[in-house]
Amino acid sequence: MTAAPAAGRAPFGARLAAAMDDHGPLCVGIDPHAGLLDAWGLTDDAAGLREFGLRVVEAVGGRVAAVKPQAAFFERHGSRGVAALEEVVAAATAAGTLVVMDAKRGDIGSTMSAYAEAFLRDGSPLAADALTVSPYLGFGSLDPAVELARATGRGLFVLCLTSNPEGHEVQHARTLDAGATVAARMAAHAAALNADAETLGSIGLVVGATIGDAAARTGTDLAAVNGPLLAPGVGAQGAGARELAEVFGTARRQVLASSSRGVLRAGPDVAALRSAARTASDEAAAALRG
Protein backbone atom coordinates (compact mmCIF):
# COMPACT_ATOMS: atom_id res chain seq x y z
CA MET A 1 0.00 0.00 0.00
CA THR A 2 1.27 3.48 -0.89
CA ALA A 3 1.81 5.60 2.21
CA ALA A 4 -0.27 8.75 2.61
CA PRO A 5 1.64 11.94 1.83
CA ALA A 6 2.99 14.03 4.66
CA ALA A 7 0.41 16.74 3.99
CA GLY A 8 -2.37 14.26 4.79
CA ARG A 9 -3.76 14.60 1.28
CA ALA A 10 -4.81 11.44 -0.53
CA PRO A 11 -2.61 10.65 -3.55
CA PHE A 12 -3.60 12.45 -6.73
CA GLY A 13 -4.39 9.25 -8.61
CA ALA A 14 -6.92 8.18 -6.01
CA ARG A 15 -8.50 11.64 -5.91
CA LEU A 16 -8.72 11.77 -9.70
CA ALA A 17 -10.28 8.31 -9.91
CA ALA A 18 -12.96 9.39 -7.44
CA ALA A 19 -13.57 12.65 -9.31
CA MET A 20 -13.98 10.81 -12.63
CA ASP A 21 -16.42 8.38 -11.01
CA ASP A 22 -18.42 11.29 -9.55
CA HIS A 23 -18.40 13.72 -12.48
CA GLY A 24 -17.30 11.80 -15.57
CA PRO A 25 -13.85 11.57 -17.21
CA LEU A 26 -13.65 15.16 -18.49
CA CYS A 27 -11.04 17.85 -17.96
CA VAL A 28 -11.98 21.32 -19.22
CA GLY A 29 -9.10 23.38 -20.56
CA ILE A 30 -8.82 27.04 -19.61
CA ASP A 31 -7.08 28.48 -22.68
CA PRO A 32 -7.61 32.25 -22.92
CA HIS A 33 -5.92 32.84 -26.25
CA ALA A 34 -6.47 36.13 -28.05
CA GLY A 35 -9.12 34.81 -30.42
CA LEU A 36 -11.31 33.42 -27.65
CA LEU A 37 -10.95 36.54 -25.52
CA ASP A 38 -12.15 38.59 -28.49
CA ALA A 39 -15.03 36.19 -29.16
CA TRP A 40 -16.10 36.56 -25.54
CA GLY A 41 -15.91 40.36 -25.74
CA LEU A 42 -12.98 40.49 -23.33
CA THR A 43 -9.78 42.51 -23.51
CA ASP A 44 -6.50 40.75 -24.25
CA ASP A 45 -4.87 41.70 -20.98
CA ALA A 46 -4.65 40.48 -17.41
CA ALA A 47 -8.17 41.70 -16.60
CA GLY A 48 -9.58 39.78 -19.55
CA LEU A 49 -7.67 36.65 -18.56
CA ARG A 50 -8.96 36.86 -15.01
CA GLU A 51 -12.59 37.28 -16.12
CA PHE A 52 -12.26 34.43 -18.62
CA GLY A 53 -10.73 32.00 -16.17
CA LEU A 54 -13.08 32.78 -13.31
CA ARG A 55 -16.10 32.49 -15.59
CA VAL A 56 -15.03 29.02 -16.70
CA VAL A 57 -14.57 28.00 -13.07
CA GLU A 58 -18.00 29.42 -12.19
CA ALA A 59 -19.53 27.35 -14.97
CA VAL A 60 -17.82 24.00 -14.38
CA GLY A 61 -16.40 24.10 -10.86
CA GLY A 62 -17.70 21.17 -8.85
CA ARG A 63 -19.24 19.67 -12.00
CA VAL A 64 -16.28 18.16 -13.88
CA ALA A 65 -13.37 16.00 -12.81
CA ALA A 66 -10.72 18.65 -13.45
CA VAL A 67 -9.83 21.92 -15.10
CA LYS A 68 -6.58 22.53 -16.96
CA PRO A 69 -5.28 26.10 -17.15
CA GLN A 70 -2.71 26.59 -19.91
CA ALA A 71 0.00 28.59 -18.13
CA ALA A 72 1.47 30.10 -21.30
CA PHE A 73 -1.63 32.19 -22.05
CA PHE A 74 -1.34 33.78 -18.62
CA GLU A 75 2.46 34.09 -18.58
CA ARG A 76 2.46 36.11 -21.82
CA HIS A 77 1.00 39.00 -19.80
CA GLY A 78 3.79 38.96 -17.23
CA SER A 79 3.31 39.26 -13.50
CA ARG A 80 -0.29 40.45 -13.78
CA GLY A 81 -1.14 37.48 -15.96
CA VAL A 82 0.44 35.12 -13.45
CA ALA A 83 -1.54 36.83 -10.68
CA ALA A 84 -4.70 36.13 -12.68
CA LEU A 85 -3.65 32.49 -12.98
CA GLU A 86 -3.19 32.32 -9.20
CA GLU A 87 -6.78 33.54 -8.76
CA VAL A 88 -8.11 30.96 -11.19
CA VAL A 89 -6.26 28.15 -9.38
CA ALA A 90 -7.59 29.36 -6.02
CA ALA A 91 -11.16 29.58 -7.33
CA ALA A 92 -11.08 26.06 -8.81
CA THR A 93 -9.59 24.68 -5.61
CA ALA A 94 -12.27 26.40 -3.54
CA ALA A 95 -14.91 24.85 -5.83
CA GLY A 96 -13.52 21.39 -5.06
CA THR A 97 -12.30 20.78 -8.60
CA LEU A 98 -8.91 19.25 -9.36
CA VAL A 99 -6.47 21.53 -11.16
CA VAL A 100 -4.04 20.20 -13.77
CA MET A 101 -1.50 22.91 -14.54
CA ASP A 102 -0.53 22.66 -18.20
CA ALA A 103 2.97 24.13 -18.09
CA LYS A 104 5.02 21.29 -19.65
CA ARG A 105 8.06 22.01 -17.52
CA GLY A 106 11.27 20.07 -18.00
CA ASP A 107 14.82 20.79 -16.85
CA ILE A 108 17.58 19.37 -14.68
CA GLY A 109 18.81 19.60 -11.11
CA SER A 110 18.02 22.68 -9.09
CA THR A 111 16.06 24.24 -11.95
CA MET A 112 13.69 21.28 -12.11
CA SER A 113 13.39 21.47 -8.34
CA ALA A 114 12.41 25.14 -8.62
CA TYR A 115 9.75 24.36 -11.23
CA ALA A 116 8.42 21.62 -8.96
CA GLU A 117 8.25 23.99 -5.99
CA ALA A 118 6.39 26.58 -8.06
CA PHE A 119 3.62 24.20 -9.08
CA LEU A 120 3.62 21.36 -6.54
CA ARG A 121 4.70 22.76 -3.17
CA ASP A 122 2.15 23.30 -0.43
CA GLY A 123 1.74 27.03 0.07
CA SER A 124 2.73 28.06 -3.44
CA PRO A 125 0.05 30.32 -4.98
CA LEU A 126 0.45 28.35 -8.23
CA ALA A 127 0.23 24.90 -6.61
CA ALA A 128 -2.02 22.62 -8.64
CA ASP A 129 -3.13 19.04 -8.10
CA ALA A 130 -1.01 17.90 -11.04
CA LEU A 131 1.51 19.33 -13.48
CA THR A 132 2.34 18.46 -17.08
CA VAL A 133 6.07 17.81 -17.55
CA SER A 134 8.45 17.00 -20.39
CA PRO A 135 10.81 14.02 -19.92
CA TYR A 136 12.98 14.64 -22.95
CA LEU A 137 16.08 15.52 -20.95
CA GLY A 138 15.77 11.94 -19.67
CA PHE A 139 13.03 10.62 -17.41
CA GLY A 140 15.37 10.83 -14.42
CA SER A 141 15.55 14.60 -14.83
CA LEU A 142 11.97 14.65 -13.50
CA ASP A 143 13.00 13.14 -10.15
CA PRO A 144 12.61 16.39 -8.16
CA ALA A 145 9.05 16.77 -9.44
CA VAL A 146 8.27 13.09 -8.84
CA GLU A 147 9.55 13.30 -5.26
CA LEU A 148 7.66 16.49 -4.42
CA ALA A 149 4.45 15.27 -6.05
CA ARG A 150 4.58 12.08 -4.02
CA ALA A 151 5.36 13.95 -0.80
CA THR A 152 2.40 16.33 -1.21
CA GLY A 153 -0.19 13.99 -2.73
CA ARG A 154 0.03 15.64 -6.13
CA GLY A 155 0.61 14.16 -9.55
CA LEU A 156 2.37 14.52 -12.88
CA PHE A 157 1.34 14.03 -16.49
CA VAL A 158 4.43 13.12 -18.51
CA LEU A 159 4.45 13.88 -22.24
CA CYS A 160 4.50 10.52 -24.01
CA LEU A 161 2.66 10.32 -27.35
CA THR A 162 1.56 13.77 -28.44
CA SER A 163 -0.60 14.68 -31.43
CA ASN A 164 1.64 17.38 -32.93
CA PRO A 165 3.18 16.19 -36.22
CA GLU A 166 6.74 16.84 -35.01
CA GLY A 167 6.40 14.61 -31.95
CA HIS A 168 7.18 11.34 -33.70
CA GLU A 169 10.78 12.45 -34.39
CA VAL A 170 11.58 11.86 -30.74
CA GLN A 171 8.74 9.77 -29.35
CA HIS A 172 8.80 7.06 -32.05
CA ALA A 173 12.61 6.83 -32.19
CA ARG A 174 14.26 3.66 -30.87
CA THR A 175 16.97 3.72 -28.23
CA LEU A 176 20.37 2.19 -28.98
CA ASP A 177 20.67 0.23 -25.74
CA ALA A 178 17.30 -1.52 -25.52
CA GLY A 179 15.82 -1.02 -28.97
CA ALA A 180 12.55 0.17 -27.47
CA THR A 181 10.87 3.35 -28.62
CA VAL A 182 11.31 6.47 -26.52
CA ALA A 183 7.55 6.59 -25.89
CA ALA A 184 7.55 3.01 -24.64
CA ARG A 185 10.45 3.77 -22.30
CA MET A 186 8.65 6.82 -20.88
CA ALA A 187 5.53 4.73 -20.27
CA ALA A 188 7.58 1.98 -18.61
CA HIS A 189 9.17 4.51 -16.23
CA ALA A 190 5.72 5.80 -15.24
CA ALA A 191 4.47 2.23 -14.76
CA ALA A 192 7.33 1.49 -12.39
CA LEU A 193 6.45 4.51 -10.26
CA ASN A 194 2.77 3.46 -10.13
CA ALA A 195 3.43 -0.20 -9.36
CA ASP A 196 2.05 -0.10 -5.81
CA ALA A 197 -1.01 2.08 -6.47
CA GLU A 198 -4.31 0.47 -5.50
CA THR A 199 -6.54 2.63 -7.72
CA LEU A 200 -4.79 4.89 -10.21
CA GLY A 201 -1.17 5.82 -9.75
CA SER A 202 -0.28 9.51 -9.60
CA ILE A 203 2.27 9.57 -12.41
CA GLY A 204 0.25 9.79 -15.60
CA LEU A 205 0.97 10.31 -19.27
CA VAL A 206 -0.14 12.78 -21.91
CA VAL A 207 -1.40 10.81 -24.90
CA GLY A 208 -3.10 12.65 -27.74
CA ALA A 209 -6.61 11.47 -28.55
CA THR A 210 -5.96 11.79 -32.28
CA ILE A 211 -2.78 9.67 -32.62
CA GLY A 212 -4.52 6.60 -34.05
CA ASP A 213 -2.57 3.37 -33.59
CA ALA A 214 0.67 5.07 -32.48
CA ALA A 215 0.70 3.31 -29.10
CA ALA A 216 0.57 -0.10 -30.79
CA ARG A 217 3.14 0.87 -33.42
CA THR A 218 5.59 2.11 -30.79
CA GLY A 219 5.04 -0.81 -28.41
CA THR A 220 3.70 1.52 -25.71
CA ASP A 221 1.62 -0.43 -23.19
CA LEU A 222 -0.79 2.19 -21.88
CA ALA A 223 -2.82 -0.19 -19.73
CA ALA A 224 0.31 -1.27 -17.85
CA VAL A 225 1.01 2.32 -16.77
CA ASN A 226 -1.62 1.95 -14.01
CA GLY A 227 -1.95 5.73 -14.03
CA PRO A 228 -4.15 8.40 -15.61
CA LEU A 229 -3.89 9.21 -19.30
CA LEU A 230 -4.57 12.85 -20.11
CA ALA A 231 -5.99 12.93 -23.64
CA PRO A 232 -6.09 16.30 -25.40
CA GLY A 233 -7.96 16.46 -28.67
CA VAL A 234 -11.41 15.24 -27.66
CA GLY A 235 -14.36 16.99 -29.28
CA ALA A 236 -13.48 20.01 -31.43
CA GLN A 237 -10.17 18.45 -32.54
CA GLY A 238 -11.95 15.41 -33.92
CA ALA A 239 -11.60 12.52 -31.46
CA GLY A 240 -14.83 10.67 -30.77
CA ALA A 241 -15.71 7.20 -29.53
CA ARG A 242 -14.10 5.36 -32.46
CA GLU A 243 -10.84 7.32 -32.22
CA LEU A 244 -10.63 6.89 -28.45
CA ALA A 245 -11.12 3.13 -28.77
CA GLU A 246 -8.34 2.94 -31.36
CA VAL A 247 -5.88 4.99 -29.33
CA PHE A 248 -6.49 3.58 -25.84
CA GLY A 249 -8.02 0.14 -26.24
CA THR A 250 -8.20 -1.61 -22.87
CA ALA A 251 -6.74 1.47 -21.13
CA ARG A 252 -9.87 3.55 -21.80
CA ARG A 253 -10.98 3.64 -18.16
CA GLN A 254 -7.70 5.36 -17.26
CA VAL A 255 -8.38 8.24 -19.65
CA LEU A 256 -9.10 11.80 -18.57
CA ALA A 257 -10.43 13.38 -21.76
CA SER A 258 -9.43 17.01 -22.20
CA SER A 259 -11.65 19.42 -24.09
CA SER A 260 -10.86 23.10 -24.50
CA ARG A 261 -12.34 24.65 -27.63
CA GLY A 262 -15.26 22.21 -27.66
CA VAL A 263 -16.49 23.69 -24.37
CA LEU A 264 -15.05 27.21 -24.43
CA ARG A 265 -16.62 28.17 -27.75
CA ALA A 266 -19.99 28.00 -25.96
CA GLY A 267 -19.02 31.03 -23.83
CA PRO A 268 -19.17 33.61 -22.51
CA ASP A 269 -22.59 32.69 -21.09
CA VAL A 270 -22.10 30.64 -17.92
CA ALA A 271 -25.19 28.50 -18.48
CA ALA A 272 -24.11 27.71 -22.05
CA LEU A 273 -20.61 26.78 -20.87
CA ARG A 274 -22.08 24.54 -18.19
CA SER A 275 -24.33 22.83 -20.72
CA ALA A 276 -21.44 22.30 -23.16
CA ALA A 277 -19.31 20.80 -20.40
CA ARG A 278 -22.14 18.48 -19.35
CA THR A 279 -22.56 17.28 -22.93
CA ALA A 280 -18.83 16.77 -23.36
CA SER A 281 -18.61 14.86 -20.09
CA ASP A 282 -21.52 12.61 -21.03
CA GLU A 283 -19.97 11.91 -24.44
CA ALA A 284 -16.58 11.12 -22.89
CA ALA A 285 -18.19 8.78 -20.35
CA ALA A 286 -20.10 6.95 -23.10
CA ALA A 287 -16.94 6.57 -25.19
CA LEU A 288 -14.59 5.58 -22.39
CA ARG A 289 -16.78 3.82 -19.85
CA GLY A 290 -19.80 2.58 -21.79
Say if CB 252 and CB 229 are below 8 A apart: no
Total Cβ atoms within 10 A of residue 176:
6
Q: What is the DSSP letter of 3?
A: P
What is the mean predicted confidence (pLDDT) over 28-48? 97
User: What are the pLDDT digits (tens) for 45-59?
Assistant: 999 999 999 999 999
Mean pLDDT score, 76-84? 98
Does residue 202 carry a pLDDT above 90? yes
Using the predicted structure, report yes or no on whether residue 1 has a pLDDT greater than 70.
no
Inter-CA distances, 228 with 3, 11, 197, 290, Å: 19, 12, 12, 18
Instruction: Name the 3-class secondary structure at 19.
Output: helix
Share of the chain above pLDDT 70, in %: 96
Over 90: is that where the pLDDT of 5 sits? no
What span, in angstroms and rounded, lies between the C-alpha atoms of 264 and 53? Answer: 10
Bond from prior residue into 125 cis (ω within 30 degrees of 0): no
Of the residues 9, 33, 104, 253, only one is catalytic, namely 104
| Bridge partner residues of 229 (DSSP) | 205, 255
Per residue in 114-148, pLDDT (tens digit) is: 999 999 999 999 999 999 999 999 999 999 999 99
Radius of gyration of the chain (CA): 18
Examine the pLDDT at 7 and tell me if it is beyond 60.
no
Region 171-196: what's the mean pLDDT?
94
Question: 104 an active-site residue?
Answer: yes
Share of the chain above pLDDT 90, in %: 87
Q: Which of 68, 66, 59, 67 is nearest to 15 (CA)?
A: 66
How would you class 256 by CB atoms within 10 Å of its CB: exposed for 0-12, middle for 13-18, buried for 19 or more?
Answer: buried
209 close to 233: Cβ distance less than 8 angstroms: yes
What domains appear along the chain, each with residue ranges and CATH number? Answer: 12-285 (3.20.20.70)
SS3 28: strand
Q: What is the mean pLDDT of residues 154-158?
A: 98
Return the pLDDT at 236. Answer: 57
Question: pLDDT for 219-275, tens place per residue?
Answer: 999 999 999 999 998 765 566 777 888 899 999 999 999 999 989 999 999 999 999
Question: Averaged over 140-168, what is the pLDDT?
Answer: 97
Residue 3 has pLDDT above 50, yes or no: no
Alpha carbon separation from 177 to 134, 180, 182, 217, 226 (Å, rounded): 21, 8, 11, 19, 25
Torsions phi, psi of 252, nearest 5?
-60, -35
The DSSP output letter for 102 is E
